[in-house]
Amino acid sequence: MRVLSDAQSSLVTREHIDSKFAVVEAKMDKLQWMLAAVLAVAIANFAKQYF
């Protein structure tokens, strides 16, 4: 019985997965905004040099 109890306590639940995905999604949103800002600055520098 103890082995079964130990095995069940180490199982990953749907709530655990959902919370981890929420954290990853929040980080990806921040990364997406940072990448967009860097890309905008790079395009602005390119445009300033050639136009």
CA–CA distance, 20 with 31 (Å, rounded to integer): 17
Q: Tell me: pLDDT of 49 over 80.
A: yes
Tokens encoding 16: 């655990």
* pLDDT for the residue 48: 93
For residue 3, pLDDT beyond 90 = no
The range of the structural domain enclosing residue 13 comes to 2-50
Q: What local confidence, expressed as pLDDT, does residue 44 receive? A: 96
Considering its fold, how many domains does the chain have in total? 1
Distance separating alpha carbons of residues 23 and 21, to the nearest angstrom? 5
Cβ-based neighbour number of residue 21 at 10 Å: 10
DSSP 47: H
Whole-model pTM?
Answer: 0.58
pLDDT, residue 33, reads 96
pLDDT in tens, 4-35: 777 677 777 888 899 999 999 999 999 999 99
pLDDT for res 50? 86
